[in-house]
Structure 1
Amino acid sequence: MGKNALTEIKQTLDGYIGHRIRLKANSGRRKTIERTGVLEETYPSVFIVKLDEDQHAFKRVSYSYADILTESVELTVYEDDQQVRVKYVKN
């Protein structure tokens, strides 16, 4: 189940490459970091987000698909006028 879940999340994100996204990441001790940018690339274990230059000190960040699976990262994709939340749903 674990390997299939990560593959499904990667395949979902493959369809959103180039779209604007918003990340909410838990950084421990009740701290959350919110970032916006563009989904730039997906790799077998991680995905890369190019951040908006005017809002962040870093140019790019990477997260693993396991971060989405464990819900330590919330990923929202902006598609046309809609917001699509990316998460894994067990069947």
Structure 2
Amino acid sequence: MARNALHEIKRSLDGLIGERVLLRANGGRRKTIERTGVLEETYPSVFVVKLDPPDGSFKRVSYSYADVLTESVELMVYRNGDQVRVTYTQS
């Protein structure tokens, strides 16, 4: 079941490569980190986001699809001025 869910999340992100995204990740100790960038690449178990320049010293970050599934990372895509959240919903 979880394997299929991870595959579905990867497949949905495959279609979003090159799109502007907002990442909201758990930074530990009740801190949430927000970063913006472009979804650059998807790999079998992780995806890579190229961050906007003023967002600190990191140029790229990668997260696993399990992070999206467990909601430790929220991923929003900018579409027509709106933010659309990427989630996995069981059918």
TM-score (norm. length: structure 2): 0.95
For 1:43 and 1:75, the matched residues in 2 are separated by 16
The 5-angstrom pairing of residues 25-40 of structure 1 reads 25-40=25-40
Report the residue type matching 1:62 in the other structure: S
Aligned residues between the structures: 91
Report the residue type matching 2:24 in the other structure: K
What do residues 61-81 of structure 1 show as CA deviations (whole Å, max 9, x unaligned)?
Answer: 000000000000000001232
Report the residue type matching 1:44 in the other structure: P
- Matched with 2:75 is 75
TM-score (norm. length: structure 1): 0.95
Report the residue type matching 2:26 in the other structure: N
Q: Secondary structure at the match of 2:56?
A: coil
Q: Secondary structure at the match of 1:27?
A: strand
Moved more, 7-16 or 51-60: 51-60
The 5-angstrom pairing of residues 38-77 of structure 1 reads 38-77=38-77
Unaligned stretches of 5+ residues in structure 1: none
Superposed CA RMSD in Å reads 0.9
For 1:52 and 1:83, the matched residues in 2 are separated by 17
Report the residue type matching 1:28 in the other structure: G
